[in-house]
């Protein structure tokens, strides 16, 4: 975090105040004052930023405020203890924003960028994909408490679609918590070894061939690695805190490296080249998405396989090559099982689903079994708890007389989560 301890003011005829912040660049490290001074020197050559005299730069305009009131609310970060204390007291409620569920939505966060990307004239190295400090400053937001001091730092950085190839400078921004590097041209993430407070990372739509090749942040829980060029999942044991992992749309040929992720609840490895279901035994995964692969085989035996995954509630196995349902035998917790466009043909396979007493939704559309006589009756006899079969409501008129008679919420889930269901 840099300090703002000097400003110059120019009042124009139209009642606007031009304020040049000489050390006004917010940074992600509490020790970057020298850099901020250099940036301020460069920016003094740019046109002075104009703001209304009654409007603090970080808030929405309030025309009824007096000039004195507005001046009191201007966020001057200073080495002087008194001014810093007053500033932090004013901003203290903002610290709660880092607990929000929608981490990437800045619409109602009370912070305003000092410089906008469209106003920057890119240097040659920036145009070639090199990340610079002024671009980092432009896209930083989300004030969070610094863990080592009483100050605040900017904990969120969104750099999507910036044509980046070199992110070396990120190694110095230790306090970033939410980082979006999607839609760039990155081939490695080594600089992230210095970002040890990272919680959420989005590197989708890049050119990465390896998975998380950097020192594991202690609390990294969310990773989106989709739409890259990964063929093998590295051993992710050191990334023990992972809860959400998206590896979809890669070139992965085998499930590996995930065996020790004891907190993993969501796994998406759809749209890959996987042929065998394996190496996920005993994981606490609740939502498992394996659609659009080539899976026709699975590991069998005591203590291995899907039957050991006691928390599974949703599986998307659409568009694979599965001919037997034995894989799902003993998965008691399932509520929704999607198996559209596979190779299931025998009624006898439905015996493997009889133990699923909580199963409420089953999709076997696109399998040859659906063409058999009395298909629907046989399925309902094998799994009487089903409410939705092949994306259609089952026997509502006969059973309860209306779609809203069911209180499980499955119908609402089906409508609200089309991306999970493959619709």
Tell me, yes or no, whether 287 and 337 share the same domain. yes
Contacts of 87-93 with C-beta under 8 Å, sequence gap 24+, read: 88/150, 88/151, 88/152, 91/143, 91/152
- Both 70 and 134 in one domain: the answer is no
Query: Dmax of the chain from CA atoms?
Result: 86
Same-domain pairing of 414 and 296: yes
No. of helices (H) and no. of strands (E), the chain: 9, 18
The number of distinct structural domains making up the chain is: 2
Classify residue 116: in a domain, yes or no: no
Does residue 301 share a domain with residue 336? yes
Which of the four pLDDT bands, split at 50, 70 and 90, describes residue 344? very high
- Residue-level pLDDT at 300: 86
- For residues 262 and 297, membership in a common domain is answered with yes
Whether residue 205 has pLDDT greater than 50: yes
Q: What does the alpha-carbon distance between residue 181 and residue 167 come to, in Å, rounded to a whole number?
A: 9
Same domain, yes or no: 49 and 176: no
**Residue 16 reports pLDDT greater than 70:** no
Among 57, 33, 26, 42, residue whose Cα is nearest residue 120: 42
Token pair 């070199």 in the structure block, residue: 166
Cβ partners under 8 Å of residue 389, min gap 6:
361, 362, 363, 364, 376, 379, 380
CA nearest neighbour of 209 among 227, 196, 182: 227
pLDDT digits (tens, 9 = 90+) for 62-95: 333 333 333 332 233 223 333 332 233 333 333 3
- Claim to verify: residue 79 and residue 134 sit in the same structural domain: no
How much is the pLDDT for 116? 61
Is there a single domain that holds both residue 170 and residue 288? Answer: yes
Write out 129-194 in H/E/C secondary structure: CECCHHHHHHCEEEEEECCCCCCEEEEEEECCCCCCCECHHHHHCCCCCEEECCCCCCCCCHHHHH
- Per the DSSP assignment, residues forming a β-bridge with 266 are 244, 287
Domain ranges, residue 93 = 7-99
Confidence at 303, pLDDT banded by 50, 70, 90: confident
The reply to whether 163 and 67 lie within a common domain is no
Average pLDDT, the chain: 74
d(CA 278, CA 305): 7
**257 domain-assigned:** yes
Same-domain pairing of 95 and 202: no
- What's residue 105's pLDDT? 58
Q: Say yes or no: 246 and 387 in one domain.
A: yes
Report the half-sphere exposure of 332 (CA within 13 A, side-chain side).
2
Q: pLDDT tens for residues 88-140?
A: 333 333 334 344 455 555 555 544 444 566 667 888 998 999 999 888 888 88
168 falls in which pLDDT band (50, 70, 90)?
Answer: very high
215 and 88 assigned to the same domain: no
Structural domain contains residue 109: no
Q: Which of 80, 99, 118 is the last residue of a domain?
A: 99
Q: What is the C-alpha separation between 124 and 11, in angstroms, rounded?
A: 35
Instruction: Identify whether 13 is part of a domain.
Output: yes
């Amino acid at each position: 975090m840099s300090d703002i301890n000097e400003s110059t003011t120019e009042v124009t005829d139209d009642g606007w105040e031009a304020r040049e912040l000489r050390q006004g660049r917010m940074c992600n490290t509490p020790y970057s004052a020298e850099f901020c001074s250099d940036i301020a020197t460069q920016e003094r050559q740019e046109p002075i930023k104009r703001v209304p005299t009654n409007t603090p730069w970080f808030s929405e305009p309030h025309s009824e405020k007096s000039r004195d009131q507005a001046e009191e609310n201007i966020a001057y970060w200073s080495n002087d203890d008194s001014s810093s204390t007053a500033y932090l007291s004013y901003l203290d409620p903002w610290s709660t924003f880092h607990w929000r569920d929608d981490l990437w939505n800045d619409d109602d966060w009370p912070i305003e960028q000092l410089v906008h990307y469209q106003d920057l004239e890119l240097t040659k190295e920036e145009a070639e994909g090199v990340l610079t400090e002024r671009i980092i400053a432009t896209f930083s937001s989300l004030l969070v408490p610094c863990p080592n001091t009483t100050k605040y730092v900017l904990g969120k950085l969104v750099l999507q679609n910036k044509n980046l190839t070199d992110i070396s400078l990120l190694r110095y921004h230790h306090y970033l918590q939410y980082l979006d590097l999607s839609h760039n041209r990155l081939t490695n993430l080594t600089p992230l070894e210095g970002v040890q407070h990272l919680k959420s990372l989005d590197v989708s739509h890049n050119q990465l061939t390896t998975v998380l090749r950097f020192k594991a942040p202690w609390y990294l829980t969310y990773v989106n690695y989709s739409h890259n060029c990964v063929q093998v999942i590295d051993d992710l044991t050191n990334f023990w805190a992972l809860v959400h992992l998206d590896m979809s749309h890669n070139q992965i040929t085998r499930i590996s490296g995930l065996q020790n992720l004891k907190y993993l609840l969501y796994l998406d490895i759809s749209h890959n080249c996987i042929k065998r279901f394996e190496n996920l035994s005993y994981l606490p995964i609740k939502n498992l998405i394996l659609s659009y692969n080539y899976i026709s085989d699975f590991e069998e035996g005591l203590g291995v396989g899907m039957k050991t995954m006691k928390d599974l509630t949703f599986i998307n196995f659409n568009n694979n090559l599965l001919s037997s349902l034995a894989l799902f035998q003993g998965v008691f917790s399932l509520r929704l099982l999607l198996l559209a466009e596979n190779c299931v043909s025998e009624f006898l396979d439905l015996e493997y689903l009889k133990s699923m007493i909580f199963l409420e939704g089953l999709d076997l559309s696109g399998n040859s079994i659906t063409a058999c006589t009395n298909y629907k009756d046989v399925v309902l006899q094998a799994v009487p708890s089903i409410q939705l079969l092949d994306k259609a409501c089952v026997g509502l008129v006969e059973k309860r007389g209306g779609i809203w008679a069911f209180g499980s919420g499955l119908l609402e889930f089906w409508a609200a989560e089309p991306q999970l269901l493959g619709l």
